[in-house]
């Protein structure tokens, strides 16, 4: 089930790439902030494993082509230990690393991430 969730997530993102400008980036960065340590670590690692598998499958198929440029996906993952402040810090770091999408599987940290989307030039898919 988790594998399909990751695949569906990435397929939706690929469809949305037709209207997102990625500039001259060599990779499409998918960011992950979630629990990779502490009590939620097992759940967070399961989510990362599904996303990583989907990224590898998409890249093995050749990635995608946008405006004639072939792009591959790259997953960047950061541990937030289910702490909204860490999730916010992680999201800012992922945005600085050109993440177009930030995946957060924990509802408790989502409100902190939603605040960033109201800041100019810090919009991303969540």
Superfamily of domain 24-116: Response regulator (3.40.50.2300)
The answer to whether residues 32 and 77 touch, using CB atoms and an 8 Å cutoff, is: yes
* pLDDT string in tens for the chain (126-residue length): 555 565 565 555 555 554 444 444 479 999 999 999 999 999 999 999 999 999 999 999 999 998 889 999 999 999 999 999 999 999 999 999 999 999 999 999 998 888 887 788 877 887
The Cα–Cα gap between 93 and 91 comes to 5
What are 117's two structure tokens?
């989307």
Domain boundaries, the chain: 24-116
């Amino acid at each position: 089930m988790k594998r399909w969730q990751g695949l569906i997530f990435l397929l939706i993102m690929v469809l949305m790439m037709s209207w997102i400008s990625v500039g001259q980036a060599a990779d499409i960065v998918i960011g992950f902030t979630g629990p990779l340590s502490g009590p939620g670590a097992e759940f967070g690692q399961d989510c990362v494993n599904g996303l990583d598998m989907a990224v590898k499958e998409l890249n093995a198929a050749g990635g995608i082509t946008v405006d004639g440029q072939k792009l591959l996906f790259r997953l960047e993952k950061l541990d937030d230990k289910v702490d909204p402040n860490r999730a916010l810090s992680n999201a800012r770091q992922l945005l600085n690393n050109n993440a177009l999408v930030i995946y957060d599987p924990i509802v408790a940290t989502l409100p902190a991430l939603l605040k960033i989307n109201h800041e100019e030039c810090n919009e991303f898919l969540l």
